């Protein structure tokens, strides 16, 4: 099976993906990248952004608030952002 051009994105940490995305934004803002390359790196940027979004959502799903009793003692947890 052939690999897709952005398959490596899935193995990146959030920090790696964000740094790569920032580099792409810098390249595109500079405006000296040929059009065909701009299209390729824009598509990579989209893949990086989607990966960052998935990682953030997964992290948010794990974050919980600690519930306190009237006396200020921990009594359990609840979702940080209940839906």
In a domain, residue 42? The reply is yes
Examine the pLDDT at 2 and tell me if it is beyond 50.
no
Q: Using CA atoms in the order 11, 58, 17, 6, what is the torsion angle rounded to 10 degrees?
A: 50
Residue 4's pLDDT band, with cuts at 50, 70 and 90, is low
In a domain, residue 2? The reply is no
In a domain, residue 52? The reply is yes
pLDDT digits (tens, 9 = 90+) for 21-66: 999 999 999 999 999 999 999 999 999 999 999 999 888 877 777 7
In a domain, residue 4? The reply is no
Q: How many domains does the chain have?
A: 1
In a domain, residue 3? The reply is no
35-73 in b/e burial notation, b at 16+ Cβ within 10 A? eeeeeebeebbebbeebbeebeeeeeeeeeeeeeeeeee
Of 5-9, 18-22, 59-63, the range with the highest mean pLDDT is 18-22
In a domain, residue 60? The reply is yes
- Domain extent for 28: 10-79
């Amino acid at each position: 099976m052939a690999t897709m051009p952005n398959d490596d994105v899935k193995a990146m940490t959030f920090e790696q993906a964000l740094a790569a995305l920032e580099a792409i934004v810098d390249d595109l803002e500079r405006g000296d990248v040929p059009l065909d390359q701009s299209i390729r790196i824009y598509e990579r940027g989209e893949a990086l952004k989607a990966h960052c979004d998935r990682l953030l959502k997964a992290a948010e799903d794990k974050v919980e608030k600690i519930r306190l009793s009237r006396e200020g003692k921990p009594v359990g947890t609840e979702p940080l952002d209940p839906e």
